[in-house]
Amino acid sequence: MSKKHRPKLRFILGDQLSRDIAALRDAEPATDILLLAEVGTETDYVPHHPKKIAFLFSAMRHFAEEMRAEGFTVDYVTLDDTANTQSFAGEVQRAVQRHKAAEVITTFPGEFRVLDDMQGWEQACGVPVEIREDDRFFCPTARFRGWADGKRQLRMEFFYRDMRRETGLLMDEGEPVGGQWNFDADNRKPLPARIHLPPDFFVKPDRITEDVLALVATRFGRNFGSLDGFDYAVTRKDALRALAHFISHALPSFGDYQDAMRQGEDRLFHSLLSPYLNAGLLGAREVCAAAETAYRDGQAPLNAVEGFIRQILGWREYVRGIYWLKMPDYAESNTLDAQRPLPWLYWGGETAMNCMAQCVDQTRRLAHAHHIQRLMVLGNFALLIGARPKEVAEWYLAVYLDAYEWVELPNVHGMVLHADGGYLGSKPYAASGKYIDRMSDYCRHCRYDVKTVVGDKACPFNFLYWNFLIKNEKRLGANQRMSLIYASLGRMDAAKRAAVTSQAKDFLNAL
């Protein structure tokens, strides 16, 4: 077969399940081969939640069927294929040989380790390998690098404003709709005791998903997490239904209550669209456009729509930019010298702290917890106890359905743990139990007293918070955003300081 008539091999990653992904942009069904592969190096580099593995494998298999229906030849390698090399490099190399491919075309990945792997494929396969930019994002990596150039610290708010200007989202004649850029101050209401919650959106597993669930139960049944009640969308059609459901039922109240938590209510007004966005079943542009349309049509208030769009256009793009700007060194920093092993309670160990127990259990059941549960409960506790950044990041990457390193690592390393020294966020998100009490009902069901700082009934978040401030006073005391709290610490008498540090030491030793 002459090189002119040899097919092109189009390799699609499991988080690139978009018909308009760059690698497929000029694909020819009559001649090109599409390759998708389930490989052990991806299932095992962290102990992923079984629901996460099942979601991706099912979505990949459905996407393969959709491409076959378009007339493409799809070479799909399942995890249990006896010839599977269990690596991307091995499967690309095998496929090149199998199909006598003239070249490989793929799309820029979401993780540095995969890019590093891709950059060796050309030599291994003996054919050209083209890695195309992933243009599903609003901000190309080169554009972000130019924005960040020369800045000692980066701030999401200024980046977000530039993105609003560039895209025109929620803009009128060059000015932000409503006269201000950010309505976050309106989005911190605790949930009223009586409020009508939106119905859950769910999809019943079909035959393909059932087959995947059986495979995952056999191979990964001992991983942290439950497969029971798997009801996520695994096709673009159903992901679009999930988007429409959120816009109609939850977006109108999302802004007011996006920080709220309630025991026994897992979803509240949150969209649960991030798994579909991050896997490619939905596009960021169409999701933001749908939310803006809801505002323009009078179906959702501005504070809700702006808050939702800011999470995607602002924060999601911002953390991706930081990831590709700073990797691989970014993952190695540990500014606060946090050295404690991650406690077993994160993997389902028993704890008397009700807020932690509730959030870990929800994570175990759903492979989901919303941003405040991740930041101000689970993340705050890891920050206060001084857990090792690498172990914390690995946990978040393993247990959440929407977690890929490009989005998970900056959020955990920079925002949750302040391990980057303030490059991503200007201060640590450290808090006592007061914040959790204000935004949830967890404390009402807890054996600890959230209003007590020291003593047998004291909420651990309280004495750990003050102990964290004492321990890091030299590192954080000059931070202007923490001046008020350090002034309060300065007024704390020596006896109380000693009681706080003593109880914290005993608690941490018991972990």
pTM of the predicted protein model: 0.95
Instruction: Tell me the H-state helices in 235-313.
Output: 236-249, 251-257, 274-279, 284-296, 302-309
pLDDT given at position 162: 96
Query: What is the rounded average pLDDT for all residues in the chain?
Result: 95
For the stretch 281-297, pLDDT in tens is 999 999 999 999 999 99
Instruction: Read off the pLDDT of residues 4-58 as tens digits, 9 standing for 90 and up.
Output: 679 999 999 999 999 999 999 999 999 999 999 999 999 999 999 999 999 999 9
Q: What is the pLDDT of residue 475?
A: 92
pLDDT at position 5: 76
According to the 3-state scheme, what is the secondary structure of 338-397?
Answer: CCECCCHHHHCCCCCCHHHHHHHHHHHHHCCCCHHHHHHHHHHHHHHHCECHHHHHHHHH
- Percent of the residues in the chain that have a pLDDT greater than 90, as a whole number: 94
Q: What is the DSSP letter of 199?
A: P
Q: What is the pLDDT of residue 188?
A: 83
Read off the pLDDT of residues 200-243 as tens digits, 9 standing for 90 and up: 999 999 999 999 999 999 999 999 999 999 999 999 999 999 99
pLDDT surpasses 90 at 307: yes
> What six digits make up the tokens of 186?
């309106």
Q: Residue 2 pLDDT > 60, yes or no? A: no
Q: Do the Cβ atoms of 127 and 104 come closer than 8 Å?
A: yes
**pLDDT for position 128:** 97
Q: Give pLDDT, residue 442.
A: 97
Give the model's pLDDT for residue 3: 58
pLDDT digits (tens, 9 = 90+) for 164-183: 999 999 999 999 999 999 99
Q: Flag whether pLDDT at 1 surpasses 60.
A: no
According to the model, what pLDDT value does residue 151 have?
85
**pLDDT at 302 exceeding the cut of 60:** yes
d(CA 194, CA 41): 47
Angle subtended at Cα 123 by Cα 14 and Cα 10, rounded to the nearest 5 degrees: 35
Distance CA 133, CA 330 (A): 22
pLDDT at residue 187, rounded to an integer: 82
User: Which pLDDT tens digit goes with each residue over 44-65?
Assistant: 999 999 999 999 999 999 999 9
What is the set of domains in the chain, with CATH numbers? 3-132 (3.40.50.620), 141-198+250-326 (1.25.40.80), 344-510 (1.10.579.10)
349 falls in which pLDDT band (50, 70, 90)? Answer: confident
Higher pLDDT, 381 or 424: 381
Q: What integer pLDDT is reported at residue 11 of this predicted model? A: 98
DSSP letter for each residue of 128-195: -EEEE--TTSSS-HHHHHHHHTT-SS--HHHHHHHHHHHH-TTEETTEEGGG-S--GGGS-PPPPSS-
Report the C-alpha gap between 46 and 49 in whole angstroms. Answer: 9
CB neighbours of 365 closer than 8 A, spacing ≥ 6? 225, 226, 228, 229, 266
pLDDT digit string (tens) for 485-502?
999 999 999 999 999 999
CB 387 within 8 A of CB 440: no
pLDDT at residue 4 in the model: 64
Share of the chain above pLDDT 70, in %: 99
Residue found under tokens 């029971």: 228
